[in-house]
C-alpha cells in the first residue's frame, strides 16, 4: 500500500512539473511572456478541419481606480473581470467561423468569459502554435458584445490571423 502511494505521488509530482515546464518553458523561449498569457489552443489537433479552440486570457482591472468602463442601464459602471487589464484569468471554448470576407468566433460555453449578458472584450492577440516553434496570432479588436437571447452565446467579430501580434496585453 505504501509503495502504491509513493508511486502515485511521484507520478503527480512529475505531471505537475511537466505542466509547469511546458507552459513556462515555451513562453521563456519566445521571450514574449506577456503574450503567453493570451493563448488559443485547438480542442482536437488530430482533425485538420477542426474549428474549435479554447481561448485563455487575462481581463479586468482594479475597480477602485475605475470611474466606469461599461455602460449598463444608462450609467457607466465598473464590472470586475471585464475590459482592459490582467486582473482575472478567463478561458472560453469558441468556434472560429470564416466566410469569404470575415472571421468571427462564437463562444460554445455560457459562462467562460462572464455570466453577465454583456462582455467588454479588450483588444487582444492570442498566440497559436501551428507547428513546433512556429506561431500565428489570432487578433481580436476591442468590442462590447451582448449575449444572444436564444443561444446564450457571445459572438466576437473583426478577427484576423497574422504572423505577429497586433495587440498587447491591455
pLDDT per residue as tens digits for the range 39-59: 999 998 666 667 999 999 999
> Cα separations (Å) of 74 from 8, 68, 82, 132, 142?
56, 12, 18, 48, 20
What is the C-alpha separation between 8 and 1, in angstroms, rounded?
11
pLDDT score recorded for residue 8: 39
pLDDT score recorded for residue 165: 95
pLDDT per residue as tens digits for the range 88-144: 999 999 999 999 899 999 999 989 999 999 999 999 999 998 888 899 999 999 999
> Cα separations (Å) of 154 from 13, 20, 29, 134, 158?
38, 31, 34, 29, 14
> Cα separations (Å) of 162 from 72, 140, 159?
34, 11, 10
Name the residue with higher pLDDT: 3 or 13. Answer: 3
Question: In the chain, where are the structural domains located?
Answer: 1-31, 32-162
- Segment 138-159 shows an average pLDDT of 96
What is the C-alpha separation between 122 and 81, in angstroms, rounded?
11
Confidence check: pLDDT of 13 > 50:
no
Cβ atoms of residues 34 and 169 within 8 Å:
yes
In the chain the first and final C-alpha atoms are separated, in Å, by 51
Which range among 12-21, 26-35, 43-52, 130-139 has the greatest average pLDDT? 130-139
pTM of the model: 0.74
- CA angle (127 as vertex; 100, 45 as ends), nearest 5: 75
Amino acid at each position: 500500500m505504501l509503495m502504491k502511494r509513493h508511486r502515485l505521488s511521484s507520478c503527480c509530482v512529475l505531471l505537475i512539473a511537466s505542466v509547469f515546464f511546458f507552459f513556462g518553458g515555451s513562453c521563456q523561449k519566445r521571450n514574449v511572456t506577456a503574450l503567453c498569457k493570451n493563448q488559443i489552443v485547438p480542442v482536437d489537433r488530430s482533425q485538420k478541419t477542426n474549428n474549435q479552440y479554447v481561448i485563455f486570457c487575462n481581463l479586468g482591472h482594479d475597480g477602485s481606480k475605475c470611474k466606469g468602463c461599461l455602460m449598463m442601464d444608462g450609467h457607466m459602471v465598473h464590472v470586475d473581470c471585464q475590459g482592459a487589464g490582467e486582473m482575472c484569468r478567463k478561458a472560453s471554448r469558441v468556434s472560429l467561423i470564416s466566410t469569404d470576407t470575415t472571421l468571427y468566433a462564437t463562444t460554445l460555453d455560457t459562462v467562460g468569459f462572464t455570466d453577465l449578458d454583456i462582455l467588454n472584450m479588450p483588444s487582444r492577440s492570442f498566440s497559436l502554435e501551428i507547428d513546433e516553434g512556429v506561431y500565428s496570432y489570432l487578433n481580436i479588436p476591442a468590442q462590447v458584445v451582448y449575449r444572444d437571447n436564444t443561444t446564450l452565446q457571445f459572438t466576437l467579430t473583426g478577427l484576423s490571423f497574422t504572423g505577429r501580434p497586433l495587440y498587447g496585453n491591455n
